[in-house]
Amino acid sequence: MKIDKGTSVAVVINRHWANLQGVRMFLRPEKDIGGADESHVVFARMLDSEDRNGLWIEVTKRKEDSTAKKFSFLIPWGQILSVVIGEDDFSPDIRDQARKIGFG
């Protein structure tokens, strides 16, 4: 399925993969990614959904000085459990619910 560039997505990924040190340093470097099961949710903007190697997303990483840095991030297809497409940005309520159960 083609997902338009710039679309707001929530990508559910394999938590074990997300906790690999080289991956986690871009998702949540300050601590291990926990949760009730083996999934982790990443909220992002779609860059490319048609690469045969995986899904390209734009992730925003907050720095200590409260500035935001955006970067491109490839998630291999084998690590993706689900992709949720939002018409707009996901609401603060959904993001808050995700944080409460250990995501994002």
Whether 3 is covered by a domain: the verdict is no
Question: 26-85 pLDDT, tens per residue?
Answer: 888 778 888 889 999 999 999 999 999 999 999 887 666 567 788 999 999 999 999 999
**What range does the domain containing 66 cover?**
8-100
Task: Output the CA torsion sign for 39, 96, 74, 66.
Answer: negative
User: How far apart are the C-alpha atoms of 56 and 45, rounded to whole Å?
Assistant: 9
Question: 46-57 pLDDT, tens per residue?
Answer: 999 999 999 999
Whether 33 is covered by a domain: the verdict is yes
Within 13 Å of residue 32, how many CA atoms lie on the same side as its CB?
Answer: 5
The tally of domains found in the chain comes to 1
